[in-house]
Structure 1
Amino acid sequence: MAATAEDTGTSSPRPAGRRRGTGRIAMAVSVFGELLITAGLVLGLFVVYSLWWTNVVADRAAGRQADKVREHWAEQDTGPGALDTGEGIGFLHVPAMKNGEVLVEKGTSTKVLNDGVAGYYTDPVKATLPMTGKEGNFTLAAHRDGHGAKFHNIDKLKQGDPIVFETKDKWYVYKVYAVLPETSKYNVDVLTPVPKESGRTKPGHYITLTTCTPVYTSRYRYVVWGELVRVDRVDSARTPPKELAG
């Protein structure tokens, strides 16, 4: 009688097919894991690029443009100055946002804003520039994240906070009077010369800051409105108004 595997104390060998199947599964899991790790690294690098490196590049570009504007002003002995330069019309100072001075240029296209500046609207509603002296709405936009993120801290602004716009000849001092934390990005009424959505019903000298919200998205718009309270002439030392002291 032939001895069985049971009799000899040895186990039956597993079928070769099962070993091959198990190996394929293990290999697939390993490859999938490596792909996940790679995808995570790529995503991480993209986040670093979007939230850090684009800020570095934009700040450098904005700094170069700002230097050109101030050099241009220094060369101008007469005339409006601020309206004569193609590099920028002035500088926005918003202490509550803690973002330093922000160069203001014409237009709100991605190309303009990606240089780390604020842009004034030319479409769909044309901004009224304060240097003209006309009543209207000085409407501005800037990025909230990446590319300089000049309006990143816009949510820190509250009623009564100062917003100062600097030109070659004058300081335009505004005070925040209304905030709209969220509205449709298609809501152009917030940009009208008399921004009735802010509660104002009569012509005046207004400023409007707009940016994307929530942070790191562009789904809605965050809006802050201010009203001009006074205009100071720039002295030879370019002494800032008291709102910017300290």
Structure 2
Amino acid sequence: MSRTRDAVYGTIGVIGEVLITLGVLLFAFLVWQLWWTDVVGNRAQAQIVAELPFQPLPTPTPSGNSSAPVVATPRHGDPPVMVQPPHATTFATMQVPRWNGEPVRPISQGTDRATVLDVLGVGHYDGTAMPGGVGNFAIAGHRTTFAKPFNRITELQVGDPIVVRTTDNIWYVYRVTSTEIVAPTDVDVIAPVPGQPGATPTERMITLTTCHPMFSARQRYIVHGVLDYWAPTSDGTPVELLDGAS
């Protein structure tokens, strides 16, 4: 009887140790997935941005206010539009004033996880418009993990600016027009005219896509916007990016 009891206790002990080990491994995985990938991702994306071939922004003339940056004058004519680059090429950055405190995020060609979203940041959907182009400049980003560039996407409000800077040294300032939550199968949100497949676009739009709700891929959170204005970086910095700008 005692031998049987000892065997049962021994088996329970082994099972308990296995469960504890599995719990420790699961906790370690969660720490890696939810925290460490952000640390590594933010470092990598900051390095990518630092190495982009941007021209220096202009500085004030000696006769001007030396402490104030040069503000770019908005242009509303047809903007220059770059050609879609090869896969995984970083060609632009994105800044969202509403996300105060968030770093500048790189935008690269493609939206697969292995070579773009997990390692480079924001991804541009193949075949959609390039920044400033007529149609839909559609981009995707993680909401959690891997530096989570779109973590605060639900904070965006109608009228908020989204500022894109391309490696051919052009600013594009878009304004949010709407948000929606859709199923992952609703790919029409990145059509040239969002929600109207086959329609001919006449506007210069932007669409941001990410998973929804938080920590789930059950749905997609979508933000749409239209181009407000553009400016060469040689003209200065968009007022939306300056301290105190709304």
Q: Please state which band the TM-score falls in when normalised by the shorter chain.
A: 0.7 to 0.9
Letter in 1 for 2:128: A
SS of the equivalent of 2:98 reads: helix
Question: Any residues of structure 2 matched to 1:21-60 within 5 Å, and which?
Answer: 21-60=4-43
Deviates more, 1:85-94 or 1:171-180: 85-94
Deviation digits for residues 69-106 of structure 1, max 9, x if unmatched? Answer: 1xx2349xxxx897698642111111223422111111
Aligned mates of 1:202, 1:83 — CA distance in 2:
18
Letter in 2 for 1:129: M
Matched residue, 2:118: 114
Deviation at 1:145, TM superposition (A): 1.2
Q: TM-score normalized by structure 1? A: 0.78
Are 2:94 and 1:92 aligned? yes
SS of the equivalent of 2:171 reads: strand
Q: Which has the higher contact order (CA 8 A, sep 6+)?
A: 2
SS of the equivalent of 2:208 reads: strand
Question: In the superposition, relative to structure 1, how do residues 229 and 74 fare at CA in structure 2: closer, same or farther (>3 Å)?
Answer: closer
Matched residue, 2:173: 173
Q: Which runs of 5+ in 2 are unaligned?
A: 57-79
Deviation at 1:233, TM superposition (A): 2.7
Matched residue, 1:15: none
Letter in 1 for 2:129: T
Matched residue, 2:215: 216
User: Among the aligned pairs, what percent are the same residue?
Assistant: 34
The number of residues matched between the two structures is: 213
Deviation at 1:196, TM superposition (A): 3.4
Matched residue, 1:4: none
Matched residue, 1:67: 50
Letter in 1 for 2:217: S
Deviation digits for residues 131-165 of structure 1, max 9, x if unmatched? Answer: 5xx31000000111111111111111121211111
User: Which residue of 225, 237, 240 maps to 1:240?
Assistant: 237
Aligned mates of 2:200, 2:85 — CA distance in 1:
34
Q: TM-score normalized by structure 2? A: 0.78
SS of the equivalent of 1:58 reads: helix
Matched residue, 2:65: none
Deviation digits for residues 5-64 of structure 1, max 9, x if unmatched? Answer: xxxxxxxxxxxxx21222122222222221121111000100111112222222232223
Question: In the superposition, relative to structure 1, how do residues 37 and 215 fare at CA in structure 2: closer, same or farther (>3 Å)?
Answer: same
Matched residue, 2:131: 130
Query: Is contact 2:95-2:163 (8 Å) kept?
Result: yes
Runs (4+) of structure 1 exceeding 3 A deviation are: 80-87
Query: Is contact 1:55-1:149 (8 Å) kept?
Result: yes
Letter in 1 for 2:170: K
Deviates more, 1:171-180 or 1:96-105: 96-105
Letter in 1 for 2:15: F
- Higher helix content, 1 or 2: 1
Deviation at 1:108, TM superposition (A): 0.5
Question: In the superposition, relative to structure 1, how do residues 82 and 58 fare at CA in structure 2: closer, same or farther (>3 Å)?
Answer: farther
Aligned mates of 1:100, 1:56 — CA distance in 2:
13
